[in-house]
Structures are given as C-alpha cells and as structure tokens.
Structure 1
Amino acid sequence: MTEATPHTIAATVIDCVKAEVPAVPTDVEQDAELAAFGLNSMKVVEVLFGLEDAFDIAIDEDDVTEDTFASVNSIVTFLAEENNVADR
C-alpha cells in the first residue's frame, strides 16, 4: 500500500467536506474557517462518517470538537496525530 502524503490526505479531507458543504471550493485555503462556508455541527457528523470510510478508521465522537473541524489543516492534523492516517 502506498503511504499517504499530506497532500493526498488534505485532498481527501476536502472531498469529504465538499460532499456535505458544496460551497467549499476545491482550492480552499487550508487554514480557512470551514464554518464560513456552511459547515455546522450536523454536517460535521456526516463529514466524520465520510472520513471514517475514506481512511478506514473509527473516530471517537469525544474527539469531535469545533476546533478539530475548524479548517482543512485542523482535520489533517487531527487525523495524523490521533488516527495515524499518515502512517497508512
């Protein structure tokens, strides 16, 4: 299996977010606040499911915070630190 790179992780995160919040541009700044595009707590749950499927991981709901899902970078950091996604 090919090791995931930060770019492919970020691209997958953007795809998962865009599936629930189409207003997020494909070339969104990775530090941009996703809430500004319409990501809310209900949509975060759906993004969470998409991330679990995309990376074949289980995310503890206790780890789902506003800060975790604030931006693409915060999600990538969370996935790398808490779920070892970069090591897959």
Structure 2
Amino acid sequence: MEAINEVHVSEPGLVVVDVAATDDETAVAFHTALAAPWATTSVEHTTRDPGQPGVRLRCYLDLRQPLNAPAQAPILR
C-alpha cells in the first residue's frame, strides 16, 4: 500500500481504511458495509502483493457525513 497522504486525515472524522482479505468478494463486501452508513470513496479494484496471500483494498471515509441516522447504522463486529 502507498503511504497515507496528510490531506486524507487532515481533520477529525477523516479516516483511511486499509483492508486485507482472503479474496476480492470479502474485501468489497467489507467496503460495502462501510459505505452504508458513511460517505466513502468508491472502490474499483483490489490489489495483490506478490508472494503474499490475499488481497488489499484502501478506501477513505468521512465520518462527519453519515448517510443514515445513527440508530440505522449497522453494527460491524
């Protein structure tokens, strides 16, 4: 993964999420769960590190912009 750019975390509520998963479907499902309650960047593809198992995905969240009322937000465990 590339280094985190300061602009992505320049204010409280901005989050960089790096996901490591077994496969593309799992990584994208996790991103979809994050995108339900919060504003996120879109994800077009996952990446693979040569010689390493699984896939990686990076997205950016803005927790200051909830898309659903807090009572409706899913609980991730």
Higher-Rg structure is 2
Question: Where is the helix percentage greater, Structure 1 or Structure 2?
Answer: 1
Task: Give the structure, 1 or 2, with the largest relative contact order (CA under 8 Å, sep 6 or more).
Answer: 1
